[in-house]
Amino acid sequence: MRIGSGNIQSLLPDYLVVGHAVMLVGLLAFENGIVGAVIHSNGRVETHSQEWRKEIASMVIEAEYRQEARLQEMVASQEVKFKGIVDELKSLITGLSCQNVEAVRQKNCSEQSQVEEYLFEIIYGIVLPNWNFPVSTVRD
């Protein structure tokens, strides 16, 4: 005789009186082991494996809920860390940009003054003394 996926090898009935209901309690020996069963007066069979399944399912759901909560907490903390790192990088880039702008400005000012000094030396120091202007041209 086959019931479900297990092969019933023996059914050892015992009777229990619970309140006004009489229940048949038996041990069902399946191929994969012995399973305790309660057979209610209405014919419904409730095995301990069903109870275990319910309990394990609730434990799995609770574990998944805890894991999801931990995962959300970890993601939130990672987002905060990432935002902090991005803000720090932005400030470093801004600081470097300001330093670069200042360095370029100083370099340009320095180069410009060097060019002006060079031109001044060329025009006033070297060229003008060697020029022979006619006296009439200078006075006019």
Q: What is the DSSP letter of 43?
A: S
Distance between CA atoms of residues 44 and 50, nearest Å:
12
- Among residues 42, 29, 35, which one has the least CA distance to residue 1? 29
Q: Tens digit of pLDDT for each residue in 65-112?
A: 999 999 999 999 999 999 988 888 888 777 777 777 777 777 767 777
Looking at residue 135, its pLDDT comes to 53
Looking at residue 12, its pLDDT comes to 39
Looking at residue 132, its pLDDT comes to 59
Alpha helices (H) in 12-130, listed in sequence order: 48-120, 128-130
Residue ranges per domain, the chain?
1-43, 48-125
Distance between CA atoms of residues 117 and 28, nearest Å:
109
Global confidence as pTM: 0.35
Distance between CA atoms of residues 36 and 7, nearest Å:
14
Q: Cβ atoms within 10 A of the Cβ of 135, count?
A: 7
pLDDT at 2 over 50: no
**Size (the chain), residues:** 140
Looking at residue 100, its pLDDT comes to 72
pLDDT at 118 over 50: yes
Q: Tens digit of pLDDT for each residue in 17-64?
A: 444 444 444 444 444 444 555 666 666 666 666 677 788 888 889 999
Residue 16 banded pLDDT, cuts 50, 70, 90: very low
